[in-house]
Amino acid sequence: MAKDLLFKRSPKEAMKYYYTIKVLEFMLSMVIATVVFFLWSHFNWWHFILYLIIVFIVFNILYTLITPWIKYKYAFYRVENKHIEIKYDFFFKSHKIVKLERTQLIERKYNPILSRLGLAKVSLITAGHTVSFPLLTDEEAIVIESKSLSYLRGADYDV
């Protein structure tokens, strides 16, 4: 259990990002629900469709409130000397370990909301797969990139 304490979590700004994105998605789905409601009332469709719209709205509200919290609370990462570990511990647990010597590309992505919050999406790409970190600050992303590149510099690994 003490080993789990070494894992890091995304910064608090990541929660703001997750909620911002989910609220924007919620607004789009409410526009769609409004259009379906208008069509229902205009064309006198079955009343059963109104109940489906209400259930859709309730589930969408719950999804918007819970999903960002789960993404923030249950995603961890750890950068060791020779490997990187990414762990997701919610319903479907996932634990990925990638050796730094297998790294072929490190990808850092931004969008306007991420840039405003000072966050970045970092992915580590190997020959076999891509491992995505939880959201990181710009400084952490640069540190991870420099650490992995300094580990690879001067090495003669055949990947």
Is residue 144 within 8 A of residue 108, CB to CB? The reply is no
Query: pLDDT of 45-91, one tens digit each?
Result: 888 888 999 999 999 999 999 999 999 999 999 988 888 999 998 88
What's the pLDDT band for 1 if we cut at 50, 70, 90?
very low
Tokens for 79, please give them: 């950068």
Tokens for 60, please give them.
């969408």
Please spell the DSSP secondary structure of 95-156, one letter per residue: EEEEEGGG--EEEEE--HHHHHHTEEEEEEE-SS-EEEPPPEEHHHHHHHHHHHHHHHTT--
Each residue's pLDDT tens digit, 112-125: 999 999 999 999 99
The verdict on 50 and 21 lying in the same domain is yes
**Are 68 and 10 in a shared domain?**
yes
pLDDT of residue 104: 86
- pTM for the model stands at 0.83
Say if residue 4's pLDDT is above 60.
no
Report which of 6, 9, 21 is spatially closest to residue 116, judged by C-alpha positions. Answer: 21
Average pLDDT over residues 20-40: 94
Residues 10 and 49 in one domain: yes
Is 42's pLDDT higher than 50?
A: yes
Domain containing 102 equals: 78-152
User: Can you read off the two tokens belonging to residue 136?
Assistant: 């990181």
Q: Are residues 90 and 148 in the same domain?
A: yes
